[in-house]
Amino acid sequence: MLYGLLKSTLLGPALRLGFRPRVRGVEHFPAEGPALLVANHQSFSDSLFMPLAAPRPVKFLAKAEYFTGHGVRGRLSAFFFRGVGSIPIDRSNAAAADPALSTALRLLADGEVVGMYPEGTRSPDGRLYKGRTGVARIALSARCPVVPCAVFGTDRVQPTGRRVPVPSRHPSGKVRVVFGRPLDFSRYTGLDGAAWDALAGTEAERAVLRAVTDEIMLALAQMTGNEYVDVYASTVKADRAS
């Protein structure tokens, strides 16, 4: 309910009026059925403008820290993310993330749209970083189309550290959201999914997960035009902080 209110009545009109985001490729978005929406991640406000542009409600996988903050700001953050149906994901290790991935699969089984950022965290410098294979595991297990989405300008209207987005006068600060043609990975799963199920726990499974993830990142690199770096963004952040 909060998602609908924010998009149609509260936040949506303000974002459209203040930022006039441009949207392309809506015709590529599946009109019905499950879909996994994947995007580059450069700003907190990606999670505002991307669902605003999407023609269907999107349930996001969001880092668990958004749900566990302290004080007024922390409570407001938790209220917002729970209200719009976001799924908290523990990024500490693969096993910790399993409950969130299971919830995403349940939503997809119900025909909903799930959104996620394959990089796992915001880019520290605007470049596109190596994708986490959880995105491939969800796509292959759900046997659903993957819709790549390129987001531009959000790093200028709300760079890291800024609490609220502010319209930018710089041409590259104009917010744009572009949806690409859905990616089909049925060649890995077979029509009934048996081919994918047979790979469970094998080296071949890990190879397929990496291949599918890399294909998704290649599509995002081509759509954004951003330089691709074959290193996890979290690793780069940790190195810079040390």
Neighbours of 102 (CB within 10 A): 13
Residue 171 to residue 188: CA distance in whole angstroms: 41
Supply the pLDDT for residue 168: 83
Walk along the chain (242 residues) and give the pLDDT tens digit of each residue: 555 656 666 677 888 888 999 999 999 999 999 999 999 999 988 988 998 899 999 988 777 777 777 777 677 667 766 666 677 777 666 665 677 788 889 999 999 999 999 999 999 999 999 999 999 999 999 999 999 999 999 999 999 888 888 988 777 779 999 999 999 999 998 867 788 888 988 999 999 999 999 999 999 999 999 999 999 999 999 999 98
Say whether domain 22-241 belongs to CATH 3.40.1130.10: yes
Q: Which two tokens stand for residue 193?
A: 């999914």
In the chain, where are the structural domains located?
22-241
Length of the chain: 242
* pTM metric for this prediction: 0.86
In 3D space, the residue among 42, 5, 8 whose CA is nearest the CA of residue 149 turns out to be: 42
Rounded Cα gap, residues 67 and 109, in angstroms: 25
**132 closest CA partner among 34, 63, 48, 46:** 63
Any residues with CB less than 8 A from the CB of 83 and at least 6 apart, and which? 1, 2, 3, 6
Please give the C-alpha separations between residue 3 and each of 31, 57, 194, in angstroms, as whole numbers: 19, 8, 36
DSSP, res 193: S
Q: In angstroms, rounded to a whole number, what is the distance separating the alpha carbons of residues 34 and 144?
A: 6
Whole-number Cα distances in Å, 143 to 21, 38, 90, 194: 31, 15, 24, 11
**pLDDT value for 137:** 94
pLDDT of residue 108: 95
